[in-house]
A and B are shown apart, each in its own frame.
Chain A
Amino acid sequence: MNGWDLFTWFNSALLAGAAVVIFVLFLKDARGILSGKGREGDSGQGDAQAGADPDRS
């Protein structure tokens, strides 16, 4: 096994490992996100337009 083989194995392990870990972390977050608990405190509905529409009261 030469250096390029090792580099390929390393990157395979890195990619698969990172993907699985990130997916598990996503699943941990998912329930809160979908139920709306993850919203930031100071960003309500309609906030998206607030900055760009200065004429609105």
Chain B
Amino acid sequence: MDHPYLSWIDYAVLGAYLLGMLGVGYYILRKVPSFEEFLVAGRSMTTPILVCTLASTYYGLDVLFGTSEMSFNNGVVAFFGYSQLSLGFYFFAAIALSERLRAAKFTSLPEILERHYGLTAGILGGFASLFYSLPALALFGLGRLCEVVFGFDARLGALLLGGVALLYTLWGGLWAVAITDTIQFVLMCVTLAIAIPILMANIGGFDAVASAVPVGHFAIFGDMPVWLMLAYAATGISILVDPGFYQRIFAAKSARQARNGMLLSLLIWFAYDWLVVAGGMLAAAGVNSGTLPAQLHSNDALLTAVVYALPAGLAGLFLAGVLATAMSTIDSYSLVAGANLSYDLYRPLARHRVTDRELVRLTKWGIVLSWTLGYLLAYVFDKLMALWVFQATALTSTVLVPIFACLFWKGKKTPTACLLSFALGLVSVIAFYSTIKFFGEPNSLYGTYIWSFSLWGSRYEIWQEYALFFTLPLSAIGFLIGNCFGNNYVPPERGAA
């Protein structure tokens, strides 16, 4: 643990942060007597806590390191062409989804399918949500962070620090997650907001950046292909079926609080995105001017540059903010995945009435199991970002169309429509990725696979990121065809009446 830019004060701050998180979880332990308290915080979350938990959960290490890496290599296009376009979907989610979701008092995303299409649809939704929520990428990122910052083994780091997130989630459920998210949110935002201006002063501002990086770094949309820009924007679609986002809407005290929380989060994400992009560009200038090590990897650039710029104590606080970024994602999705196992998969299939107490106990076991699965996946797959994109594409392609039909279409919607939409979405995702993997070539510049081919004298390229352009329409077609068969689902007690 001998990082060149860190002192013992920084390590003490990090230790205090971790102990603080455990303390919060332990305090909440006595205040979550029922399943509703454990999973949706008694449906009593107000706007400030919703902002904190939304903002910190959706901004993980992928944003901190992925976006800064892109700005390090490509400049401001990382902000205008990559991160901001997807915020349009977040705005839609705030305006159109919050009221509809909150009004029906659902508890989980698969439950929406179960209520409208029956048990099989709910079970399939439970599996899709579970697969999406396994916290593999966040655990891997946490381990990598430990390796870079503390110099110890990544697997051990993920086990220890991820274990802290696991422990407080088990103790306090969504309340512990939300309150630790709140502290993590403040750490994330304030430390970044302090660090970037200090880094800017050290490097010499954007005049110094302009003289040290290629001119193209200041082109708003750079030389990024339009279809790729649209594909990046389309990644924001996943929020429309994100089980963690749904859980927070269900936990809101009212639809208005949910909508306001989401809109305020947009403001936070806008500012946060720019500071991350600015940090990446300042780091690039620091490397080119010799202020930072020449061999610095673009992925670690922001972290190294900020730790270099901050004084002792503040650097530790920033690192605590970085840990917070990962831990807030791990805790939220472990909880969602645990509830998928207990509430969405076990409860409907159990032959007896599942009590509240049993649900809490099973959810805790589910959290441990999903955390463990996430940890194993993190160190089995070597291309984890690709796995994450696959997880998000699979969930969106299978459940978005049936869920939106429930929320926005008052007409006929049959169980067959849901099942066919789910099946076509899933098959098309697997077929698309297999095709790209088989026929495509790896592209090191964008870190993806591209399949190039000629048709009728013209040259075409299909990128791995284009998956949703194919899979989502196929899922919609499956729904329309399936909707020709059968009638609306009637829940058992209504049928009996």
Query: Which A residues contact B (CB, under 8 angstroms)?
Result: 1-2, 4-5, 7-9, 11-16, 18-20, 22-23, 25-26, 28-30, 33-34, 36, 38-40, 43, 45-56
Contact = CB atoms under 8 A, between A and B. Distances in A.
B49 A26 contact: yes
A52 B278 contact: no
Contacts of B274: 7-8, 11
Contacts of A52: 107, 111, 114-115, 122, 343, 347-348
Contacts of B49: 26, 29, 33
A8 B278 contact: yes
Given A51-B115, A52-B122, A56-B353, 10 more contacts: A7-B274, A8-B197, A16-B193, A16-B194, A22-B48, A22-B264, A29-B48, A45-B34, A47-B36, A52-B107
Contacts, number: 155
A49 B197 contact: no
A4 B275 contact: no
A52 B190 CA distance: 41
B1 interface: no
A40 B278 contact: no
B452 interface: no
Nearest to A56: B353
A26 B182 contact: yes
Nearest to B183: A23
Interface of chain B, main secondary structure: helix
A12 B206 contact: no
18 contacts: A4-B218, A11-B270, A12-B275, A15-B190, A15-B271, A23-B48, A26-B52, A29-B49, A33-B45, A38-B42, A40-B253, A45-B33, A47-B43, A48-B107, A49-B107, A49-B356, A51-B115, A53-B353
A5 B205 contact: yes
A48 B36 contact: yes
Contact of B189 (A9, A15, A33, A47): A15
B268 A19 contact: yes
Contacts of A38: 42, 44, 46, 253
Contacts of A33: 44-46, 49
B271 A1 contact: no
A57 to B, nearest CB: 9
B254 A40 contact: yes
Interface of B: 31, 33-37, 39-40, 42-49, 51-52, 104-107, 111, 114-115, 122, 179, 182, 185-186, 189-190, 192-194, 196-197, 200, 205-207, 209-210, 218, 253-254, 264, 267-268, 270-272, 274-275, 278, 343, 347-348, 353-354, 356, 359, 491-494
Contacts of B179: 30
B228 to A, nearest CB: 24
Contacts of B48: 22-23, 25-26, 28-29
B44 A54 contact: no
Contacts of A45: 33-34, 36-37, 356
A44 to B, nearest CB: 8
A37 to B, nearest CB: 9
A15 B195 CA distance: 12
B267 A39 contact: no
B59 to A, nearest CB: 11
B44 A53 contact: no
A36 B42 contact: yes
A19 B34 contact: no
B40 A19 contact: no
A55 B274 CA distance: 51
A19 B33 contact: no
Contact of A34 (B31, B40, B107, B189): B31
Given A19-B185, A22-B52, A33-B49, A51 B492 contact: no
